[in-house]
Amino acid sequence: MTLPESMRPTRRHVLDLDDFTRHEIETVLDTAIGMKEILSREIAQVPTLRGVSVVNMFYEESTRTRISFELAAKALSANVVNFTARGSSVEKGESLLDTMRTLQALGADILVLRHSYAGTAHLLAQHFRGAIINAGDGSHAHPTQALLDLFTLRDKLGTLERRHIVIVGDILHSRVARSNLWGLTTMGAHITLCAPPTLLGNEQFWLDTWPDLRIVYSLEAALQDADAVIVLRLQRERQEAGLLPSLREYAQFFALTSARLQAAHAGMLVLHPGPMNEGIEIAPDVAISAQSVIEEQVTNGVAVRMALLYHLALHLRRKGA
């Protein structure tokens, strides 16, 4: 596959979407269309990244993101190794940087990092000679999730320009929400945030950073005229930390139920980054309704990650040459 000059990759790391231009996002999404075609072939594998070593460094539980990255790397014929914090030298007290240096010495070209502390991807990017992909760091950023959401939304809505997207749930602690805000606003979408104040944090921050953004406490009101809603996972710890009186009350006022779905615009899409707490933030019948694109998000995730791996590897090769 050859890329036109305007799509030649210049990016070394993917840490967040805050430094992506609209053109760059579109390039990644367009590349992902081609990758999705590869995935639909009888033999869903191409030799493009043969000899490139990808290490999935997962310091936090994850099923779909890790498998998605693994399948993406394999579809491009890269060598892929999974590293999880359990059963590694981390348990013996090795630091993140030491582990990174070890993986570097073992020949890793691209590190995919998932970590429960914000800023860890930036930390590795300062010291690693290859490329870093942030697969979620604390409450900070989850750029590949946001890109696959953008891909899914663009695919279904045709464009993101002036489309109205609602994000509902634990926005304060959500890396998905943060990265999506950068990506969606860069693509010209209008955003409404919906959550109780304890899960929004400093509301002025959102309004100052994205002046067109709206904050609404009522989900019914938020969903009026929405083209799509991204439902966030509610961690049970939030209730234990006292941010919510009860999960029951949260579900009563903020869950996406079929009644709320029916009251909204008929074609409104439903997205969820997973894993879902069915019955808390989303009703089970909504998750499998015709408007739900949750399964497609997962499928698209592989294509989007293939596109990123491809771009980063090309850049590494060009630099190396």
Partner 1 sequence: MRYLITHGMIIDPSQRVATIGHILIEAGKVARMYEMTDRLPEADPDLVIIDAHGCLVTPGFTDLHVHLREPGEEHKETIATGTQAAARGGFTTICAMPNTHPAYDTPAVVRHVRQIARDVGTVQVEVIGAATVGRQGRTLTEMASLVEAGCIAFSDDGSPISDPAVMRNALAYSRMLDVPIMSHCEDTRLNKGWAMHEGAVSMRLGLPGYPAAAEEVQIARDITLAAMTGGHLHVCHVSTAGGVELIRHARQHGVRITAEVSPHHLTLTDRWVLGTLDAPPSAAQGSLTQRLDQYSHIYAAGIQSMRQSADLPLPAWLNPTLLPPFHTSTRVSPPLRTEADVEALIAGLADGTLDAIATDHAPHALVDKQCEYGLAACGISGLETALGLVLTLVHRGALDMLNAIACLTEGPARVLKRTPSSLRIGTQADLVIIDPDYQWIVDVNQFVSKGKNSPLHGQRLKGRVMLTMVAGQIVHQELGFGMTPRATPVASRLEGILNTDDDDA
Segment interacting with partner 1 (CB under 8 A) among 7-15, 146-154, 226-234, 251-259: 7-15
- Residue 198: exposure state from Cβ atoms within 10 A (0-12, 13-18, ≥19): middle
The answer for residues whose C-beta is within 8 angstroms of residue 274's C-beta and 6 or more apart is: 64, 233, 294, 297, 298
- Secondary structure class of 184 (helix, strand, coil): helix
| Dist CA 312 CA 319 (whole Å) | 11
Rounded least distance, CB 291 to partner 1, Å: 30
Q: Which is nearer to partner 1, 13 or 154 (CB)?
A: 13
Q: Which residue in the list 66, 114, 154, 175 is annotated as catalytic?
A: 114
Beta strands in the chain (DSSP E): 53-58, 79-84, 110-115, 131-137, 164-168, 190-194, 214-216, 228-231, 269-271
Question: Least separation, in Å, of the C-beta of 227 and partner 1?
Answer: 26
- CA distance linking residue 143 with residue 301, whole number of Å: 11
Examine residue 13 and tell whether it contacts partner 1 (CB under 8 A). Answer: yes
- Asked if residue 28 binds partner 1 (CB under 8 A), the reply is no
Q: How many angstroms separate the CA atoms of 191 and 228, rounded?
A: 10
List the beta bridge partners of residue 229. Answer: 166, 270
Q: Position 139: which residue type?
A: S
Question: Catalytic annotation on 178?
Answer: no
6 binds partner 1 (CB under 8 A): no
Instruction: Please name every residue paired with 167 in a beta bridge, in sequence order, or none if there are none.
Output: 193, 230
Kindly identify the residues of this chain, within the stretch 121-150, that bind partner 1 according to CB under 8 A. 122-123, 125-127, 137-141
208 is a site residue for partner 1 (CB under 8 A): yes
Distance, C-alpha 114 to centroid of its chain = 11
Total chain residues near partner 1 (CB under 8 A): 37
**89 lies in the site for partner 1, by CB under 8 A:** no
Q: Is 64 a catalytic residue?
A: yes
For 315, the token pair is: 């850049």
Q: Which of 27, 31, 65, 185 is catalytic?
A: 65
Query: Residue 169 and residue 16: Cα distance in Å, rounded?
Result: 21
What minimum distance in Å lies between the beta carbon of 122 and partner 1? Answer: 5
Angle at 15 between CA 105 and CA 177, to 5 degrees: 140
Choose which of 60, 119, 198, 298 interacts with partner 1 (CB under 8 A): 119
Segment near partner 1 (CB under 8 A); pick from 84-92, 111-119, 244-252, 275-283? 111-119
| Calpha distance 150→187 (Å, rounded) | 9
- CB under 8 Å, gap of 24 or more: what pairs does 64-67 form? 64/274, 64/275, 64/298, 64/301, 65/114, 65/135, 65/136, 65/144, 65/145, 65/301, 66/114, 66/135
> Residue 149 or 170: which CB sits closer to partner 1?
170
Mask 289-318, x = binds partner 1 (CB under 8 A)? ------------------------------
List 142, 190, 233, 311, catalytic entry:
142
Binding mask 211-250 for partner 1 (x = CB under 8 A): ------------------------------x---------
65 is catalytic: yes
Shortest distance, CB of residue 320 to partner 1, whole angstroms?
A: 15
Instruction: Given the residues 12, 64, 122, 317, select the one marked as catalytic.
Output: 64
Query: Site mask, partner 1, residues 159-198, x = CB under 8 A?
Result: -------------xx-x--x--------------------
Residues serving a catalytic function are 64-65, 92, 114, 142
Residues in touch with partner 1 (CB under 8 A): 10-13, 15, 18-19, 95-97, 115, 117-120, 122-123, 125-127, 137-141, 172-173, 175, 178, 201-202, 204-206, 208-209, 241
